[in-house]
Amino acid sequence: MRVVRVLGAGIYPQRDLTLGALAALKKSELVLHTSFSGDSKWLQSLGVANSRNIGSLYKEGGIDRSNYEAMVQGILEAASEADSVAVLISGNPFLGATHTRRLIAVASEVSDLRVEVLPGISSLDTMMIDLRADMLERGCVVLDANRLLLFRFVLDPRLSFFIYHPSSVGNSRTDYVEPWKTNRLVLLRDYLSAQLGQERPFVALCSKSSQEEEVRMTPGKIGDLVEVIEQIDYGTSIYIPESGDLGDVDRDFLRMLLPEA
């Protein structure tokens, strides 16, 4: 049985790679990666003898769905060359990684191919630390910008929000180099303003992903979203803190939580 191991590389792979992922890399005949999940010299230093960069399959300006399909086909072709293939995916391979789900679906129809998935540190993990924010303390919702606008979710203003992919609002193409040229960020601004108010603060955030980079945080108010992060990049997410007013609480339940006098 051939196996494809999809491994989370983390946000800063040289720091975030797990022991489980490292073991999977070393026992795989071929390791596939992109420039965002690692490089050949680093992989060689880990004991990986055979690696290949498949980042060129993800075309700048291409249709997003087509790019993911090309990545999946590239992985399947590699699996026909080697019995065990590892694929390094930036972050966690099940957070916003369409090709992971697609690969599993395609492989389920191939009798002699098994897909294993190992977790990795996600941007959600690193952003919580960057912000010193506990998602459970007051409650938090994680959303994709396009799905938010597509399904018109009603946002509870008492909660905090992580909004992913604000660099590709209303755009099905992969405009990675200069996404602000085709990004319709104004649509997200207007929706958030209507739901949460123009004065609600936000932070545009991108975690450290290499030795040379630092955490980037840009604060602002929702009404000024477009002007504050006009030249947004693909690594940026938006964090909206919870409001100060939680409203009424269930007094009977509160008494259960309080220590007896």
The residues pairing with 141 across neighbouring beta strands, listed in sequence order, are 161
Q: Report the chain's mean pLDDT, rounded to a whole number.
A: 93
Beta pairing class for 84-90 and 2-10: parallel
Q: Contact 43/26 with Cβ under 8 angstroms?
A: no
Q: Contact 7/43 with Cβ under 8 angstroms?
A: no
Identify the helix (H) or strand (E) that includes residue 78: helix 64-81
pLDDT at 129 over 80: yes
Query: Tell me: the pLDDT tens digits for 25-58?
Result: 999 999 999 988 888 999 999 999 999 999 898 8
Look at residues 28, 170, 220, 11 and name the one whose alpha carbon lies nearest to residue 95: 11
- Identify the DSSP state of 234: T
Domains observed in the chain: 2-121 (3.40.1010.10), 124-240 (3.30.950.10)
Tell me the C-alpha distance between 42 and 243, whole Å: 44
Q: How many CB atoms lie within 10 A of CB 102?
A: 17
Which is higher by pLDDT, 163 or 108? Answer: 163
- Looking at residue 203, its pLDDT comes to 97
Q: Contact 12/209 with Cβ under 8 angstroms?
A: yes
Q: Contact 123/237 with Cβ under 8 angstroms?
A: yes
pLDDT at 261 over 80: no
Q: How many CB atoms lie within 10 A of CB 227?
A: 10
| Single-letter amino acid code for the residue at 149 | L
pTM for this predicted structure? 0.91
Query: Tell me: the pLDDT tens digits for 190-235?
Result: 999 999 999 999 999 999 998 888 999 999 999 999 999 888 888 9
Look at residues 92, 192, 179 and name the one whose alpha carbon lies nearest to residue 143: 192
Query: Tell me: the pLDDT tens digits for 212-222?
Result: 889 999 999 99
pLDDT confidence of 174, banded at 50, 70, 90? confident
| Single-letter amino acid code for the residue at 125 | D
Q: What percent of the chain has pLDDT over 90?
A: 73
Look at residues 34, 55, 63, 60 and name the one whose alpha carbon lies nearest to residue 177: 60
pLDDT confidence of 132, banded at 50, 70, 90? very high
| Tokens linked to 168 | 């590709």
Tokens 């630390």 -> residue: 129
Look at residues 199, 172, 170 and name the one whose alpha carbon lies nearest to residue 185: 170
